[in-house]
Structure 1
Amino acid sequence: MSEEIKHTAEQEGHPHKQRNTLFQVRLPLYIAMALVVGVLIGANTFSPSGNNPQSTAKGYLKFRDILSYIDRDYVDTVDIEKLSDYAITKMLEKLDPHTSYIPAEELAMARSYLEGDFEGIGVEFNIFKDTIYVITPLSGGPSEAAGIQAGDKIIKVDGKNLAGVGITNEMVFKHLRGAEGTKVNLSILRKGSSKPLTFNLQRNKIPTSSVDVSYMVNANTGYIKVSRFSANTFDEFKQALTSLKKKGMQQLILDLRGNPGGYMDHATRMADEFIAGDKLIVYTDGKGTKYDSKTHARTKGDFENGSLIVLVDEGSASASEIVAGALQDNDRALIVGRRSFGKGLVQMPIPLNDGSELRLTISRYYTPSGRSIQKSYVDGAEKYEQDMLQRFERGEYFHPDSSLFVDSLKYKTTKGRVVYGGGGIMPDVFVARDTTELSEYLSQLYTKNVIREYTLGYYRDNRKSLEKMSFERFNKSFDVSDKMLQELVKLAGEEGVVYNDAQFKRSKNLIRNNLKAFIARSVYGNKGFFPVLHESDEEFQQALKQFARAQRLAKGNS
């Protein structure tokens, strides 16, 4: 995990992750709710208005009276602020799944995901055996300049022990991040050093990236992965697109899998780069007309004609779905993967007087053909939250759900192609989850961070020889040996992962791929990590096979 709170690199693409904190579970929803609609309303005074001001006033007075009685007469001392937060949260659950109250202490962390940079020491870290391991110092940050290395263990911050049972990501953020110019003292344990090393760092602004990687897959095929829509996303995307075009790109895979959304304007500007003329990209519809809007293409894009494939899955939400829906409905791109998340409610952020924030749903998003992106939530919050599990149990991850392909959910694109609503974006080409090489043994390797830990150690021990190789040479010549697999199994055993021969053999090729990918990441960054990982990525490989169909779309043929 890195300081700016992003999906951990060591978990990228893996079906099993470590147990998350409540905040981490909510984070994708916080991100999805952070769509900027250009309206900020203060809420410092009570002024009932709307359709039923008399009922609003009565409700307010009732709530105030109950809190007053509790504070004055209840038998035990009660934290009234916490009680109010709880009551507000429960009240909002009766509305929709994405209207939300965010306490002041969580707001900064929720917003930081969408900021273009943050202030801190600049390390990506992982918690392993209740110890903070540096995965990599971020380029241009204070840690890189000071000489902190991958594999270093951070044991103390400003003299305070930061290793032990119960350490969380939030605790690490609290100690490592801070205002630009402030100083922090780190105690580091490094392999080969008998005593802890001391580093005195000055925090600085750390640039972060939402375009995880862009590279040429072959002579004419480009690939861009966008992990979120944050403050710098469009500029990063535009730079990547321009660079790939200079390298001869004629067709592109845009990967939005696992992208939980973010700023809407960055999504619509991205879609505009692919859509010619003034075609509709997305529209919103709310109560009355106050929050209704239509967004059209308006600029000459850099890739309006080449073949385009967009990868989505059940983790693609909100702004990601706006891009995919616009490109599909305008017959501009072939959508490959599985049905997206289905988050199409628009929230308005409303700052409250104690520093907390209400994010209130004010309208719905619709694709150009008229499909509502939002999946149903009429059965209540609990079923809504279990939707991903229900998709798995219905078998939707392995074959299209026939209940979603009915006449009442049928829409047509600008050229008359049939597309379907029902919540989320339905792909043109369905790709089932590939479970052929998955096993409980592999799951335990992921859960215990054994693969990441082994590859960090391998990189430390072989750093000089690895860094002499170009990535091209590494990718062609480096093989994960049987000896390396045996070492991994031994480390796993030390971490309590019980060896299962049948499961190991089932997952063996995927384990080899993952080991090579994470070693490549330590040496070459994401430009080494993703090309190796994609060799075992069924959705990516299927996308490469669909360019003939995508080309027909690009030429105006369905």
Structure 2
Amino acid sequence: MRKSRIFLYALLLVILLGVLYVSLGKTVGKEQSSGSVSDSKVIDEAFQIIKKQAVFSKSDKLIVEGAIEGMAEALEDPHSTYLTEEEAIAQESSLAEERVGIGAEIMSSTGKFIVVAPIKDSPAFKAGLKPLDEIVRVNGEKLDGKSMRDLVQLLSGEKGTNVNLTVFRSSEDRHVELHMKRALIAQHTVTSEVYTLDDFSVGIVTISLFGEKTAEEWEKQTKSLMDRGIDGLLVDVRGNPGGYLFSVSSIVGTLLENGSTFAYMQDSKGVLEMLKTEQKNPYLNKIPTVLLQNGGSASASEVLAGALRDHKRAMIIGEKSFGKGTVQETHPLSNGGKLKISTHKWLTPKQEWIHGKGISAGLEVEQDELFTMDVKFQQGEFQVGDYGEEIQYVQQVLSTLGYNIIRKDGYFGEDTLEAIEGYRKENSLNKGTGINNELFQSLSKTVTDYKARKENDKQLLMGLSYLQHNMKK
């Protein structure tokens, strides 16, 4: 009887110890897991050290995001990157049919944000925003030291919400307060026009980006051109950074025969997948075609160029393209961010990988220096003896216009003064002893107007001339 009772007590003790062990194990496990951020021991170790000892420690969110960024950077692929939730939203909106904003084209020039032009009938247009206005504050927040991405985030928001801009209008030498509400802004990525050459007409189609609705815009624009009876087609993808591959597929399908291979996709294991056109009505496959490209034509633009080149469907005119031969996939993460990584190589129909090499133009044409010069909107007053990058820009522009300037390093010498005086006289500007805002504005307008005139675009002229020669055959 006693032995049985002792045995029972012993059994109860074992059970109690077991329960305590399991309970303590769970508690310890919770304590360990509370500091765990991954299944990697070394990552968790580093995380704990940073949290406990780093003098400049950050929030858990920022530390984890930094780790993800580091993993993406370790791939040594500039096209693989981590996007925060805000950056992911911004990237998607850049390729979307519509985006919420104020509707203005803005450029960054020497640390300043200058309005190129407001979109007609947009909130910015209705509020009175003008070309050359410098945006200095958004909702009271100064833009000193901020990037273009920072500005885009400040201008972004919900439809119908208020935006207050403070701009400096140099033409009036004063600051102006503008008030507007964010609205849906339609994004058009395809534009077209008809250019007449003797007895022939050429449809000029410009694709700025391969977005969500680019294929639909392309079809609408090109069918309208065909209805107008064009004899040739010039496709301009200069400065087009790429976009969605499905948009390229639809566009190529209108130019090549049904079932044509326009590219190959190769995965990380080297397996090739053939991509074929599926356009039921390739209504553009017989019309003489030219493609204009430059060093800013990348990715999807190069897929189009490679397909047209390898099928001998179009003459490529301009400069060598950028050379981006990879395709990225974007994967959503639980923190709202996204991981964009290169998952495939793409190859031309002849299975050429153009990554880092680009696609050469069949006819290389170099533009004039003034045509390729960036338009900068400088401000300030400078006299002989001063030195600065603003002065150097004036020297560069005047030199390309044919004025004799010996020093073009930013030093304001007598040769620069003589050139300025000559330019002032020739353009009927007020007399002055140096550089001022009036001169800067005039020079910016001179460069802008020069770049806008077709007769100064050597690549376009060569494309039109090539088409004219082929249309006469």
Instruction: Confirm or deny a common fold (TM above 0.5).
Output: yes
Deviation at 1:262, TM superposition (A): 0.3
Which amino acid is 1:540 matched to?
L
2: CA distance, partners of 1:227 / 1:517:
20
Is 1:514 the counterpart of 2:434 in the alignment? no
* Cα distance change on mapping 1:357 and 1:166 into 2, 3 Å: same
Specify the alignment match of 2:467 in structure 1.
Answer: 547
Output aligned runs, 1:19-38, within 5 Å. none
Specify the alignment match of 2:105 in structure 1.
Answer: 124
Output aligned runs, 1:350-369, within 5 Å. 350-369=331-350
* Residue deviations 1:157-197 (CA, integer Å, cap 9, x gap): 44x1546x435433432333221121234456668989866
Specify the alignment match of 2:257 in structure 1.
Answer: 276
2: CA distance, partners of 1:148 / 1:328:
43
* Residue deviations 1:187-243 (CA, integer Å, cap 9, x gap): 566689898665542221011222255442544112112111112212222222123
Is 1:338 the counterpart of 2:341 in the alignment? no
- Name which structure has the greater RCO, CA cutoff 8 Å, separation 6+: 1
8 Å CA contact retained: 1:257, 1:315? yes
* Cα distance change on mapping 1:328 and 1:108 into 2, 3 Å: same
* Cα distance change on mapping 1:298 and 1:183 into 2, 3 Å: same
Is 1:64 the counterpart of 2:43 in the alignment? yes
Specify the alignment match of 1:31 in structure 2.
Answer: none
Specify the alignment match of 2:186 in structure 1.
Answer: 207
Deviation at 1:340, TM superposition (A): 1.5
Seq. identity, %: 24
**Partner-residue secondary structure (3-state), 2:40:** helix
2: CA distance, partners of 1:303 / 1:259:
21
1:220 aligned to 196, 201, 206, which one? 201
8 Å CA contact retained: 1:312, 1:337? yes
Which amino acid is 2:227 matched to?
K
1: CA distance, partners of 2:73 / 2:64:
14
Is 1:95 the counterpart of 2:75 in the alignment? yes
* Cα distance change on mapping 1:188 and 1:103 into 2, 3 Å: closer
**Partner-residue secondary structure (3-state), 1:124:** strand
**Partner-residue secondary structure (3-state), 1:205:** strand
Output aligned runs, 1:127-146, within 5 Å. 133-146=114-127
2: CA distance, partners of 1:108 / 1:281:
31
Specify the alignment match of 1:39 in structure 2.
Answer: none
**Partner-residue secondary structure (3-state), 1:546:** helix
Output aligned runs, 1:13-412, within 5 Å. 60-79=39-58, 80-97=60-77, 98-126=79-107, 133-152=114-133, 154=135, 156-158=137-139, 160=140, 162=142, 165-186=144-165, 199-211=178-190, 214-216=193-195, 218=197, 219-288=200-269, 292-375=273-356
2: CA distance, partners of 1:101 / 1:234:
28
8 Å CA contact retained: 2:306, 2:348? yes
Gap runs ≥5 in structure 1: 1-58, 376-422, 455-480, 499-507, 519-528
Which amino acid is 1:425 matched to?
I
1: CA distance, partners of 2:125 / 2:293:
34
Deviation at 1:265, TM superposition (A): 0.6
Deviation at 1:319, TM superposition (A): 0.5
Is 1:428 the counterpart of 2:407 in the alignment? no
* Cα distance change on mapping 1:183 and 1:425 into 2, 3 Å: same
8 Å CA contact retained: 1:448, 1:495? no
**Partner-residue secondary structure (3-state), 1:294:** strand
2: CA distance, partners of 1:328 / 1:349:
29
8 Å CA contact retained: 2:161, 2:182? yes
**Partner-residue secondary structure (3-state), 2:89:** helix
* Residue deviations 1:243-287 (CA, integer Å, cap 9, x gap): 332333111111111211000011111111111222111221214
* Cα distance change on mapping 1:496 and 1:103 into 2, 3 Å: farther
* Cα distance change on mapping 1:199 and 1:276 into 2, 3 Å: same
Which amino acid is 1:427 matched to?
A
Q: For this pair of structures, how many residues does the alignment match?
A: 394
**Partner-residue secondary structure (3-state), 1:113:** helix
- Cα RMSD after superposing both structures: 4.2
* Residue deviations 1:75-94 (CA, integer Å, cap 9, x gap): 52422544444443343344
Which amino acid is 2:80 matched to?
T
* Cα distance change on mapping 1:425 and 1:315 into 2, 3 Å: same
Which amino acid is 2:462 matched to?
Q
**Partner-residue secondary structure (3-state), 1:493:** coil
8 Å CA contact retained: 2:109, 2:376? no
8 Å CA contact retained: 2:202, 2:231? yes
2: CA distance, partners of 1:137 / 1:512:
17
* Residue deviations 1:16-73 (CA, integer Å, cap 9, x gap): xxxxxxxxxxxxxxxxxxxxxxxxxxxxxxxxxxxxxxxxxxx952343333332354
8 Å CA contact retained: 2:290, 2:316? yes
TM-score scaled by length of structure 2:
0.70
